[in-house]
Amino acid sequence: MSKHIFWIPSYPKSGNTLLRAIISSLFFSNDGKFNFNLLRPINTFENKKRLEFIKDISDTDFNSLNKLKILSKYWNMIQSKSNLDFEEDMIFMKTHHALVKYENIPFAIQEDCRGFIYVIRDPRDVAISWAHHAKISIDKSIDFITNDFSGTHWNDHQGSLLSKNVEPLTIVSSWEKNIKSWVESKWTCPKLILRYEDLVYDKGNTVTSIVNFFINKLNFKIMNLDKKIENIIETTNFSELKKIEKNTGFIEAKNGPFFRVGEKNQWEKKLNNTQIKIIENKFKKTMIKFGYEFSKKDS
């Protein structure tokens, strides 16, 4: 039981990058001032380069990693400390993967988990943001977030030996199933649940809650804390992130700027009544649980 992974999971377009900006500024800077280079130590789990060790085990499996039956066999090996190749006690790991099992093989195991922070966003705004990011229609985006079998492909930012025809799958699932898989898991490691809206509109209190979580639940010691918190709040402001991206670019951006609007309740002007009701009817209980008010529009 090495407990070497601290997970930062979320549904796509739910504030994972904003959360990573805050955490990276807290731990990987001296002064808390954010820049995109600070994100490098917070790895994305779904990187094709991580799969190259499988080629030495089985060429057949390596060329069949687009099949979940094959990929799932290696989930836990991919997450081993030796394969992740880091010297520190713990590594931060981003994922959009649901905490699910495939043919009784778990995506991740509690024994490797130091803790996790899960960030949630209003699914009506997620639908809009995912449509822009994936360059699809709002209706197709709603189909994606309401589908229990939705998935995305692994990243290949650095290039890998894996054939471009072999696309390993991230099991994203639906907005609600993804949330429940992590938030309602029986894992006993420390966990903190945040809302994207609070990261943006109540940043001071939310950053403080993140800091207190690491100090009180994980016994972390953080130097220069007051100054860091002040600078984190200033430099991870959404308008500041947009400015940084415009000046330096951002590798995770595609189909336009990554930091696009960042406002809550965009759905009130962007979604029609039918689209709103599809989402609200599908996710009613979970939306109520996390404080998302329902539309007062007539259906």
Write down the pLDDT at residue 121: 98
Residue 128 in any domain: the answer is no
Mean pLDDT in residue range 121-133: 96
CA distance 7 to 253: 22
Residue 9 in any domain: the answer is yes
Number of domains in the chain: 1
Per-residue confidence at 43, pLDDT binned at 50, 70, 90?
confident
Best CA proximity match to 50, nearest among 168, 181, 198, 185: 168
Residue 160 in any domain: the answer is yes
User: 51-60, 125-134, 261-270 — which is least confidently predicted?
Assistant: 261-270
Inform me whether the pLDDT recorded for 160 exceeds 50.
yes
Mean pLDDT in residue range 142-156: 95
Residue 202 in any domain: the answer is yes
CB 22 within 8 A of CB 211: no
CATH number at residue 28: 3.40.50.300
pLDDT tens-digit series, residues 70-111: 999 999 999 999 899 888 899 999 999 999 999 999 999 999
Residue 256 in any domain: the answer is no
Inform me whether the pLDDT recorded for 299 exceeds 60.
no
Instruction: Give me the domain span that covers residue 194.
Output: 5-123+148-239
Per-residue confidence at 275, pLDDT binned at 50, 70, 90?
very high
Residue 278 in any domain: the answer is no
Residue 291 in any domain: the answer is no
Write down the pLDDT at residue 99: 98
Residue 129 in any domain: the answer is no
CA distance 99 to 122: 20
Which one is predicted more confidently, 77 or 37? 77
